[in-house]
Amino acid sequence: MKKILLAMALLPAFTVATRAAEDKNFDYHVDRFADIEVLRYEVPEFNDLSLNQKLMLYYLSEAAQSGRDITWDQNGRYNLRIRKLLENVYRNYTGSKETADYKAFEKYLKQVWFGNGIHHHYSTDKFTPEFPQAFLEEQIALLPAGSLPLTQGQTVEEFKAEIFPVIFDPAVMAKRVFQDGSQDVIVNSASNLYGEGVTQAEVEAYFDSVKVPNDTTPISYGLNTRLVKKDGRLVEEPYHLNGLYGPAIAKIIYWLDKAKGVAENDAQKEYITKLIDYYITGDLKLFDEYSILWVEETDGTVDFVNGFIESYGDPLGMTGTYESYVNFKNKKASARTETISGNAQWFEDNSPVDPRFKKDEVKGVSAKVITAAMLAGDAFPSTAIGINLPNANWIRAAHGSKSVTLENITEAYDMASHGNGFNEEFVIDQPTIKLLEDYLYITDMLHTDLHECLGHASGQLLPGVDPDALKENGSALEEARADLFALYYLADPKLLELGIIDNPDAYKAEYYKYMLNGLMTQLNRIEPGKDIEEAHMRNRQLIAKWVLDHAGKGKNAAVELVKKNGKTYVQINDYAKMRGLIGQLLAEIQRIKSEGDYKAGNDLIQKYAVKVDPKLHKEVLERYSTLDIPPYRGFVNPVYHLVYDDNGNVIDVTLDYTEGYADQMLRLSDNYGFLE
Ligand code: ZN
């Protein structure tokens, strides 16, 4: 998986108290509109870095933001001009700000900022303005024609005729990424990754003609080009210093070069040099060479991604959208994952699994935990919480990949959920709420670490067993295996001995949340009458329902569903017994996998993972609807300031967290508006 998304705000609905946050009064909430909440994130331990490391982060942040307009233009050919028009109206508006039209206009602009264009960042549907065309027309009439983003020789009337349908007509450019394969996905996509009039068949034929057959180290074809039709022929227009997006790329190069000057080691200098060469030439072979140097550099504290990386914006998955993540290693949290991976053999040897299904020699997967310092391009304002790069399969196979978790982003999501009413609505009593507040954050993180570093890496197939024997249930059962491994060891005294947890009861927070989520709250993502389809959701319900089913009845039940005031709650009476059940199910699912027992696996899935109790489902949906939890969230970045001494030397870099959403967006347009 390339990118771990926290697409719905439902996952981090729990709250916590113990964490690395430096400022207890840090305000995570910035703005709220439409289906969006904007948060800010803290950059803990920034002040512990050396001046050179801080400067490197500063220069890389400047490089990151310099590419902002590229993302906007890639997302749609009118986006930059529409943004200029809307911001012009917004800045010069003198009427009442209390009218419905103005409020609708402001909401629309905030949506456009969040989408890096006129389409929703997640659904990719075009936004619908809730103000009339007449409102915008009146506002345009008040502005000097010279301040409008007209093209060469265009009149204001021509400009309106060109732009208004793009904003107001729902049929024009309706979807940014059109994926219905029964129609032409290129012609029907509104993005600007392909030229006007280019068809899907033409794109496919073009790339078939240029691809080198039997190439074991292929370049990422089309990654940094717009394919357009010129005089009836298809040509690629590459993004580079002297090509498309040159003015923005020139700035990126300038700041990358400054970062190189303060890099921590020669390996960093080498990969930055290679990245600059790639930006100068657009040569994708250089991008591959850069990716290899980058993935192999693991000594530095500061790290970053900057380029045309993920191709979700292209229905054919070829062209990368500009993005940048600037970050530095979270040493404390990375020590946690290194400790876990370093003890992988102990965990394997002591698991409740039949010895025949265990690995004699297991190697934990090491994942780095990082602190995000700047999000930009396609990673802003909406961002991933984990990244795994590079994307080229042959580079991953031969040189590995970097897998990282953005802990301060996860933390901000979590902290911002505090007080959203979720715990009060769904958690059974005050002591359990307190348990979750104290320990869910750390045990959730540990669960992910154990799942990723050990769970998937553990166990072995018996000789001759087909790895695909579990067929369509393979991924749900594999996720269940990794989750069970993690849950089983969360309650193990070994974690105390290793010093990664400080309370033997902490695991109860994760156990409670896991049961609540698997039995009830995840149903909020299922439409009434539908079954559970998604593999992770099936896995969670499988585990939770199986444990409930085997927990015993009446007074002796380890776990039960109880009614209070007509509402259903999860009640856990015996956590130790629940851990025993987790161990039993882990042993059974490992057996199913090791033996390739399709029938037993399918029986488990059908009995526990797919079907939904319609009455409980309805209750969960109703209780959720009373809470005000926004479906999508994103971030503003901190503002970086250089501090000088009296002689004009930089002596420090400081962070300012006070900037609001609209202010940040307008400042970015002022300072990084490098494209027309
Ligand atoms: Zn997994």
Neighbours of 52 (CB within 10 A): 13
At 10, the pLDDT band (50, 70, 90 cuts) reads: very low
Residue 366 C-alpha to ligand 1 middle, in angstroms? 14
Residues with CB under 5 A from ligand 1 (ion): 482
Cα(456) to ligand 1 centroid in Å equals 7
CA of 540 to the centre of ligand 1 (A): 12
Q: pLDDT exceeding 90 applies to what percent of the chain? A: 81
Give the separation between CA 195 and CA 172, rounded to whole angstroms.
16
Instruction: Look at residue 4 and give its three-state secondary structure.
Output: strand
The packing angle between helices 266-281 and 284-296, to 10°, is 160
Helix-helix angle 535-549:474-490, to 10 degrees = 60
User: Is the bond leading into 165 cis (omega within 30 degrees of zero)?
Assistant: no
Interval between CA 72 and ligand 1 midpoint (Å): 33
Give me the mean pLDDT over the 466-476 stretch.
Answer: 89
Q: Tens of pLDDT along 382-409?
A: 998 878 789 888 898 788 778 788 999 9
Cα–Cα distance measured from residue 218 to residue 597, given in angstroms and rounded to the nearest whole number = 38
Nearest by Cα to 482 from 517, 440, 519, 451: 451
Residue 193 phi, psi dihedral angles, 5° rounding: -80, -15
Beta strands, E only, 7-71? 29-33, 36-40
CB-CB contact of 480 with 542 (8 Å): yes
d(CA 568, CA 561): 6
Residues 251 and 66: beta-carbon distance below 8 Å? yes
Instruction: Tell me if the bond preceding 129 is cis, omega within 30° of 0.
Output: no
Indicate the residue type of 152: Q
Mean pLDDT of the chain: 93
Decide if 236 contacts 226 (C-beta within 8 A): yes
- Cα 68 to Cα 71: distance, rounded to the nearest angstrom: 6
- Asked if 107 contacts 64 with a C-beta cutoff of 8 angstroms, the reply is no
State phi, psi for 598 to the nearest 5 degrees: -55, -45
pLDDT tens column, 206-233: 999 999 999 999 999 999 999 999 999 9
What pLDDT is attached to residue 613? 96
Instruction: Judge whether residue 4 has pLDDT over 60.
Output: no
Compute how many other C-beta atoms are within 10 angstroms of the C-beta atom of residue 232. Answer: 5
- Provide the 10 A C-beta neighbour count for residue 643: 12
Q: Output the six-digit token pair for 145.
A: 């024609």
Mind listing the pLDDT tens digit for each residue in 87-97?
999 999 999 99
What six digits make up the tokens of 355? 């010895």
Q: 447 C-alpha vs ligand 1 centroid, how far in Å? A: 11
Pick the most confident of 440-454, 467-481, 645-659.
Answer: 645-659
Q: For 287, how many CA atoms within 13 A lie in the half-sphere containing its CB?
A: 25
Confidence of residue 449 (pLDDT cuts 50, 70, 90): confident
Cα 453 to Cα 554: distance, rounded to the nearest angstrom = 38
Segment 310-321, tens digit of pLDDT: 998 999 999 999
> In the prediction, which pLDDT does 14 show?
35
Tokens of 427: 């958690």
Contact in structure between 491 and 451 (CB atoms under 8 Å): no
The predicted pLDDT at position 363 comes to: 74
Please check the confidence at residue 17 and state whether its pLDDT lies above 70. Answer: no
The CA–CA distances, whole Å, from 461 to 232, 474, 596 equal 55, 13, 8
Q: How far apart are CA 505 and CA 509, in angstroms?
A: 8
Distance from the alpha carbon of residue 459 to the mean position of ligand 1, in angstroms? 14
**Average pLDDT of the residues in 416-425:** 90
Per the CB < 8 A criterion, the answer to whether 419 and 15 are in contact is yes
Residue 21 pLDDT exceeds 60 = no
CA distance 324 to 246: 17
What pTM was estimated for this model as a whole?
Answer: 0.85
Express as a percent the part of the chain with pLDDT over 70. Answer: 96
- pLDDT of residue 278 exceeding 60, the answer is yes
Using the mean position of ligand 1's atoms as its centre, give its distance from the Cα of residue 2 in Å: 13
Q: How far is the CA of 431 from the centre of ligand 1 (A)?
A: 31
> Of 662, 644, 660, which is closest to residue 652 (Cα–Cα)?
644
CB 484 within 8 A of CB 540: no
Q: What is the DSSP letter of 21?
A: -
Position 318 scores a pLDDT of 95
Q: Residue 175 forms beta bridges with which residues? A: 125
Ligand 1 centroid to residue 535 C-alpha, Å: 10
Task: Quote the pLDDT of residue 22.
Answer: 57
The beta strands (E) that lie in 450-595 are given as 559-564, 567-572
Residue 676 Cα to ligand 1 midpoint, Å, equals: 43
Mean pLDDT over 25-35 rounds to: 93
Query: How far apart are the CA of 183 and the centre of ligand 1, in A?
Result: 34
What's the CA gap between 616 and 567, in Å, rounded?
Answer: 9
Distance CA 604, CA 46 (A): 48
By mean pLDDT, which of 369-378, 481-490, 624-633 is the weakest?
624-633
List pLDDT tens digits, range 583-624: 999 999 999 999 999 999 999 999 999 999 999 999 999 999
Cα four-point dihedral sign 257, 263, 266, 270: negative
Cα(448) to ligand 1 centroid in Å equals 8
Measured CA to CA, the distance from residue 283 to residue 272 in angstroms comes to 15
pLDDT per residue over 294-348, tens digit each?
A: 999 989 999 999 999 999 899 999 999 999 999 999 988 888 888 998 899 999 9
pLDDT band at 486 (very low <50, low <70, confident <90, very high): very high
Distance 599 CA to ligand 1 centre (A): 22
Residue 420 Cα to ligand 1 midpoint, Å, equals 28
Residue 233 β-bridge partners: 230
Tokens of 141: 């009439």
Distance CA 276, CA 249 (A): 10
The pair of three-digit structure tokens given for residue 580, joined into one six-digit string? 């025993």
Compute the distance from residue 317 Cα to the ligand 1 centre, in Å: 23
Confidence of residue 161 (pLDDT cuts 50, 70, 90): very high
Closest C-alpha to 77, from 1, 173, 160 = 173
Cα separation of the two ends of the chain: 35
Q: For residue 357, how far is its CA from the centre of ligand 1 (angstroms)? A: 19
- 661-672 and 100-115 helices cross at what angle (nearest 10)? 60
Q: Using CA atoms, how far apart are residues 384 and 409, in angstroms rounded to an integer?
A: 9
Q: What is the Å distance from ligand 1's center to 444 Cα?
A: 14
Helical (H) or strand (E) element with 319: none
Query: Does 546 have pLDDT greater than 50?
Result: yes
Q: Ligand 1 centroid to 79 CA: how many Å?
A: 37
Task: Please give the Cα distance from 411 to 421 (Å, whole number).
Answer: 18
> What does the block give as tokens for 128?
């619908």
At 332 the pLDDT is: 86
Q: How far is the CA of 451 from the centre of ligand 1 (A)?
A: 6
Determine the pLDDT at residue 12. 36
- How many angstroms is it from 596 CA to the middle of ligand 1? 19
Measured in Å, residue 487 CA sits from the centre of ligand 1 at 13
Q: Place 23 in a pLDDT band, splitting at 50, 70 and 90.
A: low
Structure tokens at 322: 């500009």
What is the spatial distance between Cα 63 and Cα 61, in angstroms, rounded to a whole number?
Answer: 5
Amino acid at 129: P
Q: At what angle do helices 575-595 and 535-549 cross, to 10 degrees?
A: 120
The single-letter code of the amino acid at 674 is F
Q: What amino acid occupies position 100?
A: A
- 649 alpha carbon – ligand 1 mean position (Å): 49
CA 485 to ligand 1 centroid distance, Å: 11
Instruction: Provide the Cα torsion 268, 271, 274, 275; round to 10°.
Output: -90
Separation of alpha carbons 460 and 475, rounded Å = 16
Ligand 1: centre distance to CA 493 (Å): 24
Q: Quick one: average pLDDT of 644-665? A: 97
